[in-house]
Structures are given as structure tokens and as C-alpha cells.
């Protein structure tokens, strides 16, 4: 127990100095042209979905509200710059499912703004901490979000409805190819038990029949309690394949401490909450996730 408490103290101190996410860049294609339809997205995965739907459509501008290093919006507080973006926007597209705790305030205070909840048609997973908002990490849910955004944009902007639907059909076809490719890679793996960094992967695990037996940090930046740390170490020691999955946006300090106690190897799974201004970013990250799982669980 002294060793566990010592590990916990180190993790807590180091967490105070760790950032929430990395500094990858997402650029904006915003403009001051008042004739344009201005769409603001809440954070990175919704931005990627939306730029695929609006690709090549003249007069439609998409800007991401939050800074590129923000990551998940668990406890995000809106800034004056965010409010200015929304005041100049026509449409705000959110993940929903509780990810944006400020969403109700936006709906109440920005009466001119059309708000799209992209998770509206997705059954949510619920645990002891409530509804899990990380729906996009499942490819099936990502497809549903693309469909929902497309339908809502078409209602708001019917002049571009055909283009929205054509772009969405093209992107969904690629997502379905990705889905088949990942099932082919993951389904045959002999070991399906994994320990993840935080609660970003339950929808992913459900889709690919993985069993999450432990979570290192329930909330990013919050070190595990002594009891949680003891339990995770015990779970990892009992795994047939000792692998821990960190995330590229967050410090791997906690995972490293557990690895030192168990001999487990650390791998990286990307929930795609940060990245470059690249329409293919989600597909590329998921392909890397499949390769990582193949290496770790073979």
C-alpha cells in the first residue's frame, strides 16, 4: 500500500503540470463575407464530419469553435472569443449527449442560431457516471452523426441539400469501407480484454467486441485513487496479454506507473479529439488504431 500511495502522489504532482491535450493544429476557413452560410462546430471530431459534408460547396464556411488542443469538452468553459464566433454564425453543430455542458446556455442565449445535436439519433451507453458522450469513436455512430448533420443542414439550407447529401453519401461509403477493414483486422484477434486511458472507448469496444476491464483515469487529468490504482494493477496482472492503451492527447504518466508495476507494454489508441485540418483525419486515425490493436492483442 505504501508503494501504491507513493505512485499516486507522483501521478498527482505530475498531472498538475500536464496539459489536457497536444498542440496539433486545426485551421479555420472563416471569412467576413456576410453572404456566406457560417457553420461553427463545437470540437474536432464534429468539425471533421462537417467539413466532409460541406466539402466544395460555395458560400458555406465551417469553423471550429474551440482551440485545436482542447480535446474533449468535459469541463470546458466558453470564452469571449467563442461567443463572438457564435454571434456571427448561422448554425452551431454539437456532439451532444452531454459533451457540451454549455449547450443549453447557447440554445437559450443565441436565439438567432440554428443548433444541431449530432447525437440525437444514437442510443447512449450509461454507466455509474451517467451517459457516455464519446459516441463518434464508434464508426457506426460516426455514420449516424453524419446522416443527422446532413438532414438538418438540408432543412436549414435547402438550396444546397443535394450537395450535402452527395458529399455525405461519399463519406459514408468510405466510413463503411473503414468499418469492414477494421472488423477484418480486429475480429480474429485472440485476446479482446483491454485497459484504456479514460472513458473514450466504450462505443468503440462495443462495435468491435472488445472487453474494457479497466480504465486508468475516469476523467483526464484526475489521478486514480489508491483503491483504483490497486484494482487496475491487479487487473493488468491477470490479463493474458499485458497491454495498456494511452491516448496521444494526454500524459501517459499514470500508464507508465502501472506498466512499471505489471510489466505491461504501453500502446496508443486515438479517440480523434485533436488533429490536423484534414478531411481524412478520422479515417487515418482509426486505421492506426486497428494496427495498434493487431500488434497489442495478437
Q: What is the pTM of this model?
A: 0.87
What does the pLDDT look like over 217-238, one tens digit per residue?
877 767 778 888 888 899 899 8
In this structure, the answer to whether residues 120 and 219 fall within a common structural domain is no
Answer yes or no: are the C-beta atoms of 232 and 252 closer than 8 Å.
Answer: no
Tell me the C-alpha distance between 26 and 68, whole Å: 5
Answer yes or no: are the C-beta atoms of 293 and 189 closer than 8 Å.
Answer: yes
In this structure, the answer to whether residues 124 and 160 fall within a common structural domain is yes
CA distances from 253 to 33, 46, 101, 233, 241 (A): 46, 29, 28, 14, 21
Total structural domains within the chain: 2
Indicate the SS3 state at residue 213. strand
Answer yes or no: are the C-beta atoms of 266 and 255 closer than 8 Å.
Answer: yes
Give the chain's mean pLDDT: 88
In this structure, the answer to whether residues 171 and 59 fall within a common structural domain is yes
Range of the domain at 263: 189-297
134 occurs within a structural domain: yes
Q: How confident is the model at residue 17 (pLDDT cuts 50, 70, 90)?
A: very low
Tell me the C-alpha distance between 116 and 60, whole Å: 16
Tell me the C-alpha distance between 249 and 146, whole Å: 24
13 occurs within a structural domain: no
Answer yes or no: are the C-beta atoms of 209 and 227 closer than 8 Å.
Answer: no
What does the pLDDT look like over 185-228, one tens digit per residue?
999 999 999 999 889 999 999 999 999 998 988 777 677 788 88
In this structure, the answer to whether residues 54 and 160 fall within a common structural domain is yes
For the sheet containing 114-117, what is the strand order? 60-64, 37-41, 91-94, 114-117
pLDDT over 90, % of the chain: 69
In this structure, the answer to whether residues 165 and 58 fall within a common structural domain is yes
Which position has the higher pLDDT, 164 or 33?
Answer: 164
pLDDT at res. 34:
60
25 occurs within a structural domain: no
As a whole number of Å, the end-to-end CA separation of the chain is 33
Amino acid at each position: 500500500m505504501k508503494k501504491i500511495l507513493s505512485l499516486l502522489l507522483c501521478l498527482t504532482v505530475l498531472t498538475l503540470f500536464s496539459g489536457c491535450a497536444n498542440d496539433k493544429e486545426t485551421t479555420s476557413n472563416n471569412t467576413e463575407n456576410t453572404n456566406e452560410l457560417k457553420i461553427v462546430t463545437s470540437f474536432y471530431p464534429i468539425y471533421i464530419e462537417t467539413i466532409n459534408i460541406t466539402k466544395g460547396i460555395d458560400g458555406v464556411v465551417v469553423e471550429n469553435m474551440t482551440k485545436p488542443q482542447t480535446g474533449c469538452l468535459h469541463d470546458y468553459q466558453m470564452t469571449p472569443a467563442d461567443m463572438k464566433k457564435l454571434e456571427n454564425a448561422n448554425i452551431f453543430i454539437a456532439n451532444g449527449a452531454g459533451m457540451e455542458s454549455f449547450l443549453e446556455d447557447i440554445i437559450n442565449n443565441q436565439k438567432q442560431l440554428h443548433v444541431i445535436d449530432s447525437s440525437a439519433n444514437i442510443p447512449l451507453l450509461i454507466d455509474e457516471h451517467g451517459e457516455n458522450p464519446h459516441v463518434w469513436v464508434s464508426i457506426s455512430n460516426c455514420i449516424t452523426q453524419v446522416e443527422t448533420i446532413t438532414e438538418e443542414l438540408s432543412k436549414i439550407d435547402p438550396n444546397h441539400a443535394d450537395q450535402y447529401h452527395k458529399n455525405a453519401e461519399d463519406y459514408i461509403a468510405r466510413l463503411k469501407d473503414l468499418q469492414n477493414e477494421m472488423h477484418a483486422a480486429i475480429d480474429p484477434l485472440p485476446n479482446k480484454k483491454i485497459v484504456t486511458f479514460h472513458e473514450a472507448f466504450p462505443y468503440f469496444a462495443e462495435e468491435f467486441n472488445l472487453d474494457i476491464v479497466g480504465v486508468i483515469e475516469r476523467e483526464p487529468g484526475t489521478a486514480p485513487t489508491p483503491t483504483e490504482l490497486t484494482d487496475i494493477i491487479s487487473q493488468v496482472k491477470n490479463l493474458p496479454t499485458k497491454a495498456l492503451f494511452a491516448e496521444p492527447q494526454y500524459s501517459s504518466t499514470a500508464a507508465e506507473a502501472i506498466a512499471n508495476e505489471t510489466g505491461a507494454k504501453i500502446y496508443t489508441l486515438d479517440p480523434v479529439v485533436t488533429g490536423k485540418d484534414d478531411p481524412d483525419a478520422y479515417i487515418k486515425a482509426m486505421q492506426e488504431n486497428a494496427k495498434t490493436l493487431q500488434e497489442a492483442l495478437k
